[in-house]
Structure 1
Amino acid sequence: MSLLTEGQRTKLIANFRANQQGLETLDPCPVVKIITPDANATWLLTEFDPCTELFFGLCDLGFGFPELGYVALADLETCRGALGLPVERDRWFKVTKPLSAYANEAARTGRIIA
């Protein structure tokens, strides 16, 4: 399974470009949820810069300190969990709120609930 669908990649890049233009305050909904099937890491991603290949979103490495930040595509592609399984896209993820709401909830609970 590909890490992103073409539609998700297009939306992530569109969000990045809208943010770079700075025409409005953005609080986009996550476009994709990436998980480690054999660990507790989760990424809710909202933007992708195709030049630097960096994603922006809510990142939780499973240590109880989720935070907004950047992650490189190369890091996600090479990331492995405890059993050596690669990260994968959560095909059943249903977005229900903007990224800020997920971030606020994660700050209260110490983990991403999505």
Structure 2
Amino acid sequence: MILLPPDLRQRLLANGRQRDVDHVPVVKFFNPLGEGVWLATELDPDGDIMFGLADLGYPELGSFSLEEMESIRLPFGIGIERDLLFTGDFPISVWAEAAREAGSIRAAERILYARARSAAALNLTPPDTETQKA
């Protein structure tokens, strides 16, 4: 699997040119066999150093290397993977706060999306009474 396809690379580079913005993560990488989750919001012009939220046992904001992630070899020839279904949806500051409170990015993801579903359910409009009469 290509960890960073061209469309995501371009989005990360564009975010990297906009400093001091609370970006929404563009991509999520993870270790499929254990600890290790990274949410990337920006990519330096060098094409290697990303900024975002990393969780290798404790979530913290910082920089990490794409080249190093691509070089990791786990048992059975598995490497770090990209979450193909990840959408980000919240600014990195929200992710960081939730991950610190929950203890991990994975726990924060469950909490944030459960809260979002609850909020969406509360904002549902009542059914149209005219439709119900028909």
What TM-score do you get using the length of structure 2 for normalisation?
0.74
More helix by share: 2
Identify the residue that residue 45 of structure 2 maps to in structure 1: 50
Q: Would you say the 8 A contact 1:30–1:46 is kept in 2?
A: yes
Q: Give the residue type in structure 2 aligned to 1:33.
A: K
- Match of residue 59 from structure 1: 54
Aligned to 1:16: 16
Question: Which residue identity is paired with 2:33?
Answer: D
* 26-35 or 52-61, larger mean C-alpha shift: 52-61
Larger radius of gyration: 2
Is residue 101 of structure 1 aligned with residue 94 of structure 2?
yes
Q: CA RMSD in A?
A: 1.5
**Is residue 25–residue 88 contact of structure 2 (8 Å, CA) maintained in 1?**
yes
Q: Using the TM superposition, give the Cα deviation of residue 53 of structure 1 relative to its aligned residue in structure 2, in angstroms.
A: 1.6
Q: Which residue pairs with 1:90 in the alignment?
A: 83
Alignment match, 1:79: 72
CA displacement, residues 9-62 of structure 1 (integer Å, 9 cap, x when unaligned): 00100011111xxxxx4100000000111112100000011326200000001x
TM-score (norm 1): 0.86
Percent of residue pairs bearing the same amino acid type:
40
Structure showing greater relative contact order (alpha-carbon pairs closer than 8 Å, 6 or more residues apart): 1
* Aligned-partner Cα distance in 1 for 2:55–2:97: 13
Alignment-mate amino acid for residue 95 of structure 1: G
Q: Report how many residues are paired.
A: 107
Amino acid at match of 1:76: M
Unaligned regions of 5+ residues in structure 1, if any?
20-24
